[in-house]
């Protein structure tokens, strides 16, 4: 009987794992992907959907035909329970039916639960703020943004607040891209002087992005992401409120606490604020029916893997704390990748408000990093099926990350900040001075980045649809 591999989720990590497992194992295993909605979304381009500069249909594709072509089974459904003692997954299908699906290997790549409720009044459901965390959210943000544009065209002044909507939110990079694309779009329309743009972020300083900042050496001179982003914000005449955690949102008013300052509030006409991420609600059930979720996950709901989760002071964290193979320490056939795995510690320095609230940018685990994790998990499962121990590592303290932050979706007048950091998580044991290999870190801003951003959009949609030559395009 062929080994059965069940992948929960079809985002960057899960879908990439499925592609590589189909390539590595061919007909040697039965591979199944369980994911609701029959759709893959290229999330980096949702910022363009949210400003109306790219149609939503350009950022997603249907999964089932791709999986049929590469020999992967697809189930349109949502995992609700993992029974690791019995090697089964409880799945609720889109038609309302429920099944227990057996597995020999399981990959939890379920992604994030968008925890808007953690901030009272936040999110599209309340109608107070908007988001670009899904296709539907980006379309809603676009419609409300364009309604503000229409008012600006009538001569009115408006305030747009963009950033993070919780003291421990993540994806500051995506919010920053959206901010800069709004700025570029308003300038293109000749409306920028009527708009007050505000960057509201939980980062300790501009350019932190949840990774403790970025930097490069330019002819021996240290250039920091903080100075670059601060310069971009100043050039765009964007007001910034840093080290701020949103505590409540009312119609037209956002309340926040800020490190080193008293609680404050800000009026707005439009707000796009990224929520806190938590693990997808997923129960882990023992053979006797008891709930063992607390044994397999961290308090944030993300799954524990082979990292060191021992509580430590911020300055005692090490690069070796980060997981290498992304396998559960309790079950050798259970993996987690992408956003679904629990980081052992944050990368950015925490701050506290006067009221005692911890304000901390949470470590991002999307895009390139998630793809690398998905490939690594596929390689390790292939190792196990071949009778070998998992041999592939992808610690965040070992792997690089490349990010291109768009600042206008145009081939002629657009721009982007191109950032490469190696590794993502600083490792002062290997790189004592900066925690990173400064020979492999770059920061650039210009039109070339805008061209690269669009080229990557097309290249990765080709790759992720398993088109000819897809393995040649790296994660």
Exposed / middle / buried, residue 199 (Cβ in 10 Å: 0-12, 13-18, 19+) = buried
pLDDT of residue 450: 85
Classify burial at 388, counting beta carbons within 10 Å of its beta carbon; exposed 0-12, middle 13-18, buried 19 or more. Answer: exposed
Structure-token pair, residue 198:
């505000």
Question: Can you give the C-alpha Rg of the chain in angstroms?
Answer: 22
Q: What is the C-alpha end-to-end distance of the chain, expressed in Å?
A: 32
User: Of 121, 118, 117, 80, which is closest to residue 101 (Cα–Cα)?
Assistant: 80
Residue 83 has what pLDDT?
Answer: 98
Helices (H) and strands (E) in the chain, counts: 9, 26
Contacts of 316 (CB under 8 A, 6+ apart): none
Dump strand ranges (E) for 337-415: 351-352, 358-359, 401-406
Task: Decide if 367 contacts 419 (C-beta within 8 A).
Answer: no
Taking each helix axis from N to C end, the angle separating 368-385 and 12-25, rounded to the nearest 10 degrees, works out to 30
Of 376, 301, 294, the residue nearest 330 (C-alpha): 294
Are 91 and 77 within 8 A, CB to CB?
A: yes
**Which two structure tokens, joined as six digits, stand for 363?**
């470590």
HSE-CB at 13 with a 13 A cutoff on CA atoms is 25
Strands 40-41 and 30-35, by their bridges, are unpaired
Q: Which two tokens stand for residue 248?
A: 């409540």
Query: Any idea what DSSP says for residue 340?
Result: G
Contact 428, 320 (CB under 8 A): no
Which pLDDT score, from 0 to 100, does residue 133 have?
97
In DSSP terms, 90 is beta-bridged to: 81, 100
Q: CA-CA distance, 308 to 42, in Å (whole number)? A: 31
* Greatest C-alpha distance within the chain: 70
Write the CB contacts of 56 (distance below 8 Å, at least 6 apart in sequence): 49, 135, 138, 139
| pTM passes above 0.85 | yes
The pLDDT, as a whole number, for residue 227 is: 93
* Residue 182: both structure tokens together: 């709004």
Q: What CATH number matches the domain at 4-114+277-350+362-385, 3.40.50.850, 3.40.1210.10, 3.50.50.60, 3.10.105.10?
A: 3.50.50.60
Give yes or no for a contact between 275 and 133, defined as CB atoms under 8 angstroms apart.
yes
Length of the chain: 475
Of 147, 148, 197, 208, whose CA–CA distance to 172 is shortest? 208
Q: How many CB atoms lie within 10 A of CB 299?
A: 9
Residue by residue, pLDDT tens for the chain (475 residues) are 899 999 999 999 999 999 999 999 988 999 999 999 999 999 999 999 999 999 999 999 999 999 999 999 999 999 999 999 999 999 999 888 999 999 999 999 999 999 999 999 999 999 999 999 999 999 999 999 999 999 999 999 999 999 999 999 999 999 999 999 999 999 999 999 999 999 999 999 999 999 999 999 998 899 999 999 999 999 999 999 999 999 999 999 999 999 989 999 999 999 999 999 999 999 999 999 999 999 999 999 999 999 999 999 999 999 999 999 999 999 999 999 999 999 999 999 999 988 888 999 999 998 899 999 999 999 999 999 999 999 999 999 999 999 888 888 777 777 888 999 999 999 999 999 999 999 999 999 988 888 889 899 999 999 999 999 999 999 9
Nearest residue to 413 via CA among 149, 176, 187: 187
Local structure of 194: helix, strand or coil: helix
8 Å CB contact between 326 and 306: yes
CA-CA distances (angstroms) from residue 34 to 37, 91, 206?
A: 10, 8, 38
DSSP reduced 3-state for 71? coil
> d(Cα 382, Cα 29) in Å, to the nearest integer?
9
Q: Report pLDDT for 401.
A: 93
């Amino acid at each position: 009987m062929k080994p059965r591999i069940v992948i929960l989720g079809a985002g960057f990590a899960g879908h990439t794992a499925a592609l590589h497992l189909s390539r590595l194992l061919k007909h040697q295993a039965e591979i199944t992907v369980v994911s609701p909605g029959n759709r893959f979304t290229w999330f980096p381009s949702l910022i363009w959907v949210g400003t109306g500069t790219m149609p939503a249909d350009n950022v997603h594709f249907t999964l089932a035909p791709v999986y049929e072509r590469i020999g992967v089974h697809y189930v349109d459904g949502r995992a609700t329970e993992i029974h690791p003692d019995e090697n089964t997954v409880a799945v609720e299908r889109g038609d309302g039916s429920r099944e227990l699906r057996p597995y020999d290997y399981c990959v939890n790549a379920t992604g994030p639960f968008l925890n808007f409720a953690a901030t009272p009044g936040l999110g599209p459901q309340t109608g107070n703020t908007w988001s670009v965390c899904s296709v539907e959210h980006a379309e809603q943000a676009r419609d409300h943004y364009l309604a503000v544009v229409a008012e600006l065209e009538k001569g009115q002044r408006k305030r747009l607040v963009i950033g993070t909507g919780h003291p421990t939110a993540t994806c500051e990079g995506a919010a920053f891209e959206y901010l800069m694309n709004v700025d570029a779009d308003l300038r293109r329309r000749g409306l920028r002087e009527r708009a007050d743009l505000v960057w509201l972020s939980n980062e300790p300083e501009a350019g932190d992005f949840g990774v403790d900042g970025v930097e490069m050496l330019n002819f021996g001179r240290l250039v920091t992401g903080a100075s670059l982003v601060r310069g971009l914000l100043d050039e765009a005449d964007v007001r910034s409120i840093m080290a701020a955690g949103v505590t409540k949102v009312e119609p037209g008013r956002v309340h926040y606490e800020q490190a080193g300052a008293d609680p404050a509030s800000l009026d707005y006409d439009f707000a796009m604020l990224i929520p806190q991420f938590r693990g997808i609600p997923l129960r882990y059930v023992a053979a006797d029916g008891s709930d063992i979720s607390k044994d397999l996950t961290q308090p944030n709901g993300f799954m524990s893997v082979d990292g060191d989760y021992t509580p430590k002071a911020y300055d005692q964290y090490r690069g070796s704390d980060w997981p290498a193979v992304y396998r559960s320490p309790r079950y050798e056939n259970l993996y987690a990748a992408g956003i679904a795995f629990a980081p052992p510690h944050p990368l950015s320095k925490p701050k506290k408000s006067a009221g005692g609230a911890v304000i901390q940018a949470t470590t991002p685990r999307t895009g390139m990093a998630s793809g690398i994790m998905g490939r690594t998990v596929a390689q390790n499962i292939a190792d196990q099926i071949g009778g070998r121990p998992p041999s592939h590592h992808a610690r965040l303290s070992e792997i690089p990350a490349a990010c291109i932050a768009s600042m206008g979706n145009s081939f002629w007048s657009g721009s982007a900040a191109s950032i490469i950091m190696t590794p993502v998580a600083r490792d002062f044991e290997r790189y004592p001075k900066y925690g990173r290999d400064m020979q492999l870190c770059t920061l650039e801003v210009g039109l070339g980045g805008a061209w690269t951003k669009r080229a990557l959009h097309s290249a990765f949609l080709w790759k992720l649809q398993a088109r000819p030559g897809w393995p040649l395009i790296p994660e």
